[in-house]
Amino acid sequence: MVASARVAYLARRAADYGVHTAEVSVNMVEVRQRKQSIVDSFRSGGQRVIENTENLDLLFGEASFTGPRSIAVKMNDGELRRLGANKIFINTGCRPATPRVDGIDQISALDSTSIMELDELPEHLLVLGGGYVGLEFGQMFRRFGSRVTIVQRASQLLGREDQDVADEVAKILREDGVEVLLNTEAARVEKGGGGEIRLTAQTPEGARTLTGSHLLAAAGRVPNAETLNLSSAGIETDRNGFVKVNERLETTAPGVFALGDVKGGPQFTHISYDDYRIIRTNLIEGGNATVNDRFVPYTVFIDPQLGRVGLSESEARARGLNIRVAKMPMSYVARALEVSESRGFMKAVIDADTKQILGCAVLGLEGGEIMAMIEIAMMGKLPYTVLKDGIFAHPTLAESLNNLLNI
C-alpha cells in the first residue's frame, strides 16, 4: 500500500520530470487487491514450507496453557486438542491497543489491521497517534487523496527520535498536506447527526472539535497474553502484560520460552526472527546466544524513509559519551538531486575516541538501505574514516557517506 501511495505521489509530480499525465486517480479496491495478493503469496509460501517439513504439525486454533508444559488448543473446526511438551515457545505477538478516549467504543474506529481492508477512500481521516503506524498510514492516505489530520499528545512525532529528526518528519508531512497537531490530547469522540466522527481534543490553544469521516486508532499495541492462562503454568508477565523473559528468552517457567512482540519490545519482525536465532543457537546448536548487545535497526516507511540504528544523538549525550555528530542535508546528495527527491537529512553519531560509529538516522531517499550500509560498518567496528575515504560508485546514494563523514 505504501508502494501504491508512492506511485500516486510520483504520478502527481510527473510534470517535475517533464512527463505529463492525465489527472491521477486511485482505485482503493485495486490497491487492496494488489496488497492482498502479495500477502497471500508470502503466507501460502510460508505455510507450504511448514506443511512439507517432516515431524512438524501445523494446527489452526487458539491455544492456552492448562498447567506446566501442557496446553489445550481450541481448534478452528471445534475440536479440543490437548498437548504436552518439555519445551514450549510462546510467540503470540501483539494486537492494536484501544486508546483511552471517551466514546471510542461507540464509533467504528479503524485500527492498523482494518484500515488495510478499506474499499473506499476516507474523505477525512483522523489519526490518533504520531508513532510510525500513524505516520505511515497518514501519509499513505493523504497520497491516495484523503484529507488527513494526525493528533499527537506529545510535543513531537516519533517519541524515541531526536527532536531535529522528528521536526523534519513533521515538516515533510505538512508539505504533503497532512495536518499535524502536536501537544494535542484527544478527549472525546462521538458520531454526529450526519454519520460524521466528531473528535474533541485539547490543544495548546484550547479545546477544538475535529470532524472526520474515519478515525484510525494508532496508539500502540498490547500483548496477546491474557487469554493464554499463563499463571496455570507459572509464567509471569510484567505490569503491562508482556511475558517476562531473561536474556536467553527463558520465561519464569522451566522449559517455556517467549519470542517476538509478546515478550515486550523491540517490536519488529526482524527482532522476532533474531529471537528464533537465539533459541536455535542455544537449544539446537548448544551455543550461548543472548539478546544483549544486538543491533536493533528499523525503518519507518514514510517517504522519504527514516532508517535508524544504534544510539540517537540524545541517547549518546544522555550517557555522557564523548561524541561527534556528522549531519548533512539530502540536498547535498547528487543522487537525490538527480531524481528530484532531496528531502530530509542524514546524521551519524561517532565516538570521538574510538572513531567508531555509534548510530545513525537517515531520513531520505532509500534511508533504510543507507542506514544498513552504516550498520554493516558498525558490525565490523570500522572507524568512520574508512567510509569517509571509501570508494563508492558515482552517482549512487552510497557515495554520500564520503561527504556525510567528512568531519
Catalytic residues: 394
CA 225, CA 74: separation in Å to the nearest integer? 16
Query: Distances in Å between the alpha carbon of 383 and those of 326, 371, 377, 391?
Result: 14, 16, 8, 15
Q: Does 133 bind ligand FAD (CB under 6 A)?
A: yes
**CB nearer ligand FAD, residue 277 or residue 317:** 277
Q: At what angle do helices 2-12 and 28-51 cross, to 10 degrees?
A: 150
- Using CB under 6 A as the criterion, what x/- string covers residues 170-209 for binding ligand FAD? ----------------------------------------
Examine residue 269 and tell whether it contacts ligand FAD (CB under 6 A). Answer: yes
Q: How far is the CB of 355 from ligand FAD (least distance, A)?
A: 30
In the complex with ligand FAD, which residue's Cβ is closer, 227 or 340? 227
- Taking CB under 6 A as the rule, does residue 242 contact ligand FAD? no
CB-nearer residue toward ligand FAD: 129 or 364: 129
Least distance from C-beta 137 to ligand FAD, angstroms? 7
The yes or no reply on residue 260 touching ligand FAD (CB under 6 A) is yes
Locus of grid cell 467504528 = 108
For 53-113, the DSSP string reads STT-----EEEEEEETTEEEEEETTS-EEEEE-S-EEE---EEEPPP--BTGGGTT-B-TT
- Kindly identify the residues of this chain, within the stretch 298-337, that bind ligand FAD according to CB under 6 A: 301
**Cell (9 digits) for 320:** 555522557
The region of 122-130, 267-275, 337-345, 373-381 touching ligand FAD under the rule CB under 6 A is 267-275
Ranges within 206-235 binding ligand FAD (CB under 6 A): 224, 227-228
CB 349, CB 312: distance < 8 Å: yes
One-letter amino acid at 136 equals E
Q: Which residue's CB is nearer to ligand FAD, number 81 or number 381? A: 81
Query: Which are the contacts of 170, defined by CB distance < 8 A and separation ≥ 6?
Result: 156, 157, 180, 182
| Extended strands (E) in 252-305 | 256-258, 298-300
Query: Which three cell numbers mark 14?
Result: 510527473
Options 8-16, 87-95, 314-322, 345-353: segment touching ligand FAD (CB under 6 A): 87-95
Secondary structure class of 306 (helix, strand, coil): strand
Out of 16, 30, 40, 62, the only residue in the binding site for ligand FAD (CB under 6 A) is 62
Binding-site size for ligand FAD (CB under 6 A) equals: 19
Report how far residue 176's alpha carbon sits from residue 191's, in angstroms, rounded to the nearest whole number.
Answer: 28
DSSP at 279 = H
Interacting residues toward ligand FAD by CB under 6 A: 62-63, 91-93, 112, 133, 224, 227-228, 260-262, 267-270, 272, 301
